[in-house]
A and B are shown apart, each in its own frame.
Chain A
Amino acid sequence: MTTTAPKAISPVRIDGRRLRSARTRQIIIEAYLLLLRESPQIPTAAAIATRAGYSIRSVFERFPDLHSLRIAATDHAMLQAADSVAERPPHGDRAARLRIHVEMRGRVCEEWLPLWRALNANQGDSVELKARIHQIRELVIRRMEAMYEPELSTLDAVERRQTILAIEALIDFESWARMREFFGQSFEEACAIWILAIDRLLPPTPAVS
Chain B
Amino acid sequence: MSDTSIKKPMRIDGRRLRSERTKQLIIEAYLALADAFSPRVPTAAEIAEKAGYSVRSVFERFPDILTLQIAAVDYAMAQVTALAPPNELEGDRAMRIRSQVRARAQVCERWLPLWRSLIVNQGNSEELKDRIRGSRERVMGRLEAMYQPELETVAEGERRQLVIALEALTDVESWARMREFFDLSFDEACLAWIQAIDRLLPRSATDP
Contacts and interface: CB of A to CB of B under 8 A. Distances in A.
**Are the chains A and B members of one assembly?**
yes
A187 B196 CA distance: 24
A194 B173 CA distance: 18
A172 B164 contact: no
B168 A196 contact: no
A4 B164 CA distance: 71
A170 B181 contact: no
A194 B164 CA distance: 9
Is the contact region of chain B dominated by helix, strand, or loop, or is it mixed? helix
A32 B177 CA distance: 28
B124 to A, nearest CB: 9
A165 B168 CA distance: 12
A84 B173 CA distance: 26
Contacts of B199: 166, 200-201
Interface residues of A, number: 27
Is the contact region of chain A dominated by helix, strand, or loop, or is it mixed? helix
Given A159-B195, A162-B192, A162-B196, A169 B169 contact: yes
B200 interface: yes
Contact of A178 (B39, B167, B177): B167
Contact of B168 (A134, A170, A192, A200): A170
A200 B173 CA distance: 22
B204 interface: no
A185 B167 CA distance: 15
A169 B177 contact: yes
A197 B197 CA distance: 10
A203 B42 CA distance: 47
Given A200-B200, A201-B200, A165 B192 contact: yes
Contacts of A174: 171, 173
A85 interface: no
Given A121-B120, A172-B173, A182-B133, A165 B182 contact: yes
B161 interface: yes
A137 B181 contact: yes
A193 B161 contact: yes
Nearest to B193: A166
B174 interface: yes
Given A159-B195, A197-B165, A200-B199, A169 B133 contact: no
From A137, A183, A194, name the one whose CB has the most chain B CB atoms within 10 angstroms.
A183
B186 to A, nearest CB: 14
Nearest to A137: B181
Interface string B156-196: 00100110110111010110011001101000000111011
Nearest to B182: A165
Interface of A: 121, 134, 137, 159, 161-163, 165-166, 168-170, 172, 174-175, 178-179, 182-183, 185, 192-194, 196-197, 200-201
Given A121-B120, A162-B192, 12 more contacts: A161-B182, A163-B196, A166-B192, A166-B195, A169-B168, A169-B196, A172-B174, A174-B171, A175-B168, A175-B171, A193-B161, A201-B196
15 contacts: A134-B181, A161-B192, A170-B168, A172-B168, A174-B171, A175-B168, A175-B174, A178-B168, A179-B168, A185-B164, A193-B161, A193-B165, A194-B165, A196-B161, A197-B165
